[in-house]
């Protein structure tokens, strides 16, 4: 068992002491009772409820999203020189990071991307261990750490992160799977959210998707030839800093793809005592996905539809009309997608503004992130021809690197020759179908935000979701946390 430490914040704390202090001395989340149906719940100490104004997790600089009237002008304004100055949260002792972890475990923070400094390798290894053991409401955080600078990047993936990664992986694998490779000696794989540690720089990264090639035998090796990152309303300089560290850590990379999903405005949860907050306070349990998405955009409309006097069945999603969507089930008849904001019960839960792609390919042995990237747009319009060509060019370069590795591990000269002569199939992307999944990603993001926001304002944290906030219970019972 650990005992409470009496050290001051100026004294260097061990990882275990920092963990204990963060979980037992400072509340991770100012939770309090939900009000009654009349909005007059029992009095609580301030702050009684979480809101953006009552949780003090410092936020990096505002998203560097490019919102101009011209979409083409927007994607053309990518700076040829990316600043290496990364906005960071100045870390006091490591409990700042645990406080953010606790917030992510029990709620959906407005900021899904945080950068901390002064994080030692020892503390980072402790963080990795804790993340593996803790359960999070929606998804496990992605950690990246550079021991030389002490910078720690924490990303909380959302459904909007995943839609493009999944379709990208399917298209690329259909091409790679045609290569005549001896799978007993050489393995190529597209790994999502795989934690990698560079043997050159020590940088630890968890890219959204990585093309990894591993060989066995005396010449055992593990190489990374492509990385895909998906950023959701994230500061662009921070994203580029991470990509730069990845390229420095794995110089064999031939292809980098950045998918940037931008919301129309920075998301904020419903404020305490707002009409939306008071409306949902009347519900004793969380709404089902169907009931939530079928609510009227306005408070008054939602009140009428869920009145006991209203016996009509829900008519399906009511938050907005998705313009340009064909009623046909055939993929051949998909029309251009236009998404209105997902506004439910007087609050906008998600409003995707655009989805951009940036691609860098190694040329003449150099992958220049300071040079011009190949830019494309998936939404609101589909302009992806150049991006698709660049991706296939990068995959072709990756195939050449795979052949070089095979030459060292494959004993059969004829099999090696067959691989050398094989033409890599073109990765064919169905961009219209990928675009259509943005609607699903937006709905799931809105639903995720509603569910985690509702749970964190409940009288008993997280009980209605079928999980218990163990940190709250440990504190309430005054039971010290035992950390192996």
Task: Find the domain containing 32 and state its range.
Answer: 24-37+45-157
Look at residue 249 and tell me if it is in a domain: no
Look at residue 256 and tell me if it is in a domain: no
CB 249 within 8 A of CB 203: yes
CA nearest to 134, candidates 466, 471, 479: 471
pLDDT digits (tens, 9 = 90+) for 136-159: 545 667 888 888 888 888 877 777
Look at residue 207 and tell me if it is in a domain: no
Distance between CA 403 and CA 393 in Å, rounded? 16
pLDDT digits (tens, 9 = 90+) for 155-195: 777 776 677 788 899 999 999 988 888 777 788 999 998 88
Look at residue 83 and tell me if it is in a domain: yes
The pTM of this model reads 0.68
CB count, 10 Å around CB of 44?
12
Look at residue 28 and tell me if it is in a domain: yes
Q: Tell me the two tokens of residue 325.
A: 């969507």
CB 361 within 8 A of CB 393: yes
**Ranges assigned E (strand) in 216-366:** 221-232, 255-263, 342-344, 347-350, 352-361
Look at residue 120 and tell me if it is in a domain: yes
Q: Are strands 151-155 and 204-205 parallel, antiparallel or unpaired?
A: unpaired
CB 340 within 8 A of CB 321: yes
Q: Which element (helix H / strand E) includes 9?
A: none
pLDDT digits (tens, 9 = 90+) for 276-327: 999 998 888 889 999 999 999 988 877 655 544 444 444 445 554 344 444 4
pLDDT at 333: 55
Look at residue 153 and tell me if it is in a domain: yes
pLDDT digits (tens, 9 = 90+) for 197-245: 999 999 998 899 999 998 876 556 789 999 999 888 777 888 898 899 9
Distance between CA 470 and CA 367 in Å, rounded? 46
Number of domains in the chain: 1
Look at residue 100 and tell me if it is in a domain: yes
**Ranges assigned E (strand) in 71-171:** 113-116, 142-146, 151-155
């Amino acid at each position: 068992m650990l005992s409470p430490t009496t050290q001051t914040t100026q004294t260097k704390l061990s990882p275990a002491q920092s963990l204990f202090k963060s979980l037992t001395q400072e509340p991770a989340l100012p939770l309090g009772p939900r009000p009654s149906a009349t909005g007059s719940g029992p009095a609580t100490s301030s702050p009684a409820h979480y809101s953006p104004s009552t949780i003090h997790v410092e936020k990096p600089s505002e998203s560097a999203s490019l919102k101009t009237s011209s979409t083409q002008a927007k994607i053309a304004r990518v700076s040829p020189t990316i600043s290496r100055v990364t906005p960071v949260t100045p870390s006091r002792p490591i409990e700042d990071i645990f406080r953010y972890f606790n917030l992510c475990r029990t709620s959906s923070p407005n900021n899904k991307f945080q950068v901390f400094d002064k994080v030692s390798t020892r503390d980072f290894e402790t963080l990795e261990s804790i993340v593996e053991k803790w359960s999070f409401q929606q998804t496990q955080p992605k950690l990246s750490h550079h021991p030389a600078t002490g910078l720690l990047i924490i990303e909380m993936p959302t459904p909007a992160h995943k839609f493009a990664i999944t379709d990208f992986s399917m298209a690329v694998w259909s091409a790679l799977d045609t290569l005549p490779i001896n799978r007993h000696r050489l393995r190529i794989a597209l790994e999502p959210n795989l934690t990698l540690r560079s043997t050159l720089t020590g940088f630890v990264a968890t890219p959204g998707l990585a093309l990894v090639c591993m060989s066995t035998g005396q010449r055992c090796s593990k190489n990374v030839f492509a990385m895909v990152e998906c950023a959701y309303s994230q500061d662009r300089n921070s994203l580029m800093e991470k990509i730069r560290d990845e390229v420095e850590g794995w110089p064999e990379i031939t292809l980098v793809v950045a998918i940037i999903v931008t919301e129309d405005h920075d998301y904020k949860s419903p404020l305490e005592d707002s009409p939306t907050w008071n409306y949902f306070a009347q519900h004793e349990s969380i709404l089902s996905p169907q009931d939530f998405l079928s609510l009227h955009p306005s408070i008054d409309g939602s009140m009428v539809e869920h009145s006991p006097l209203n016996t009509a069945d829900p008519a399906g999603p009511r938050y907005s009309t998705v313009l340009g969507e064909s009623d046909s089930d055939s993929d051949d008849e998909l029309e251009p997608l236009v998404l209105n904001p997902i506004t439910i019960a007087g609050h906008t839960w998600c409003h995707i503004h655009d989805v951009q792609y940036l691609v860098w390919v190694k040329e003449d042995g150099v992958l220049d992130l300071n040079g011009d990237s190949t830019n494309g747009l998936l939404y609101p319009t589909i302009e992806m021809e150049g991006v698709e060509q660049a991706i296939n060019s990068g995959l072709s370069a990756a195939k050449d690197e795979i052949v070089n590795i095979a030459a060292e591990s494959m004993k059969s000269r004829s099999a090696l020759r067959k691989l050398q002569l094989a033409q890599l199939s073109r990765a064919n992307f169905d961009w219209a179908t990928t675009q259509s999944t943005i609607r699903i990603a937006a709905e799931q993001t809105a639903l995720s935000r509603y569910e985690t926001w509702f749970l964190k304002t409940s009288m008993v944290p997280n009980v209605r979701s079928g999980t218990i906030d163990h940190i709250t219970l440990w504190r309430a019972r005054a039971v010290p946390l035992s950390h192996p």
